[in-house]
């Protein structure tokens, strides 16, 4: 059965590379924080390092939003470590600071509904989990197109705004822009203002 937004995110536990160290992590370690869990197909590939490095470039932006980032693939922790230690100019990660979770059994990818069983790798799934462990957002890309870190940050800010203010966030909402009350009158006023 596919994991659904609004339900508890599947628990996970496994070995991860954090910097140059191995650490066992689990979803419960992040209770009280937002979590971006994203899957990528394999280490030492082509689109994957561009995504992972882009998330690392914005790590402080995520931390300001009480959000932790975790990347996950079916590779071993040893493969993760070797790739993280490889320089950017060689196609490596150059020392990203967030956990690279090893899913050697493929159970985590399977639980999140992103495992390509025949290929043995995960699709580019991204899951936003709230501080209570509830899945609030998910996207899944085919293997050949990378994801937008800026869009991930926008979505986190929208969910946090909604949770704090009780508003709903219209299409393309960005921080500092108008949100709306969950009423037909508020939506009508918003559309009249934005679509003249």
Give the C-alpha separation, 71 to 34, whole Å.
Answer: 14
Q: Which residue has tokens 């590779």?
A: 75
Give the C-alpha separation, 25 to 138, whole Å.
Answer: 21
Instruction: Give the pair of three-digit tokens for residue 75.
Output: 């590779």
Distances, alpha carbon 130 to alpha carbons 21, 40, 76, 154, in Å? 27, 21, 27, 15
Instruction: Give the pair of three-digit tokens for residue 3.
Output: 């994991």
Q: Which residue has tokens 């998330």?
A: 55
CB-CB contact of 131 with 49 (8 Å)? no
Indicate which residue of 9, 36, 37, 48 is catalytic: 48
Strand partners, 83: none
Task: Kindly tell me the sign of the dihedral angle through the C-alpha atoms of 25, 31, 34, 38.
Answer: positive
Give the C-alpha separation, 193 to 174, whole Å.
Answer: 17
Catalytic residue check, 169: no
The catalytic residue positions are: 48
């Amino acid at each position: 059965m596919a994991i659904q937004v609004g339900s508890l995110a599947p628990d996970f536990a496994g070995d991860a590379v954090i910097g140059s160290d191995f650490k066992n992590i689990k979803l419960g370690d992040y209770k009280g924080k937002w979590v971006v869990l994203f899957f990528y197909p394999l280490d030492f590939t082509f689109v994957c390092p561009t995504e992972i490095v882009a998330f690392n470039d914005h790590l402080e932006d995520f931390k300001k939003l009480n959000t932790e980032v975790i990347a996950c693939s079916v590779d071993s922790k040893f493969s993760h470590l070797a790739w993280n230690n490889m320089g950017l100019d060689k196609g490596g990660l150059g020392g990203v600071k967030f956990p690279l979770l090893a899913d050697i059994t493929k159970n985590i990818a399977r639980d999140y509904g992103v495992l390509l069983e025949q290929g043995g790798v995960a699709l580019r799934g991204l899951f936003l989990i709230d501080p209570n462990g509830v899945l609030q957002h998910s996207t899944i890309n085919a293997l050949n197109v990378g994801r937008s870190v800026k869009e991930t940050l926008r979505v986190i800010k929208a969910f946090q705004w909604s949770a704090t203010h009780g508003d709903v966030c219209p299409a393309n909402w960005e921080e500092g822009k108008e949100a709306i009350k969950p009423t037909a009158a508020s939506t009508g006023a918003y559309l009249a203002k934005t679509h003249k």
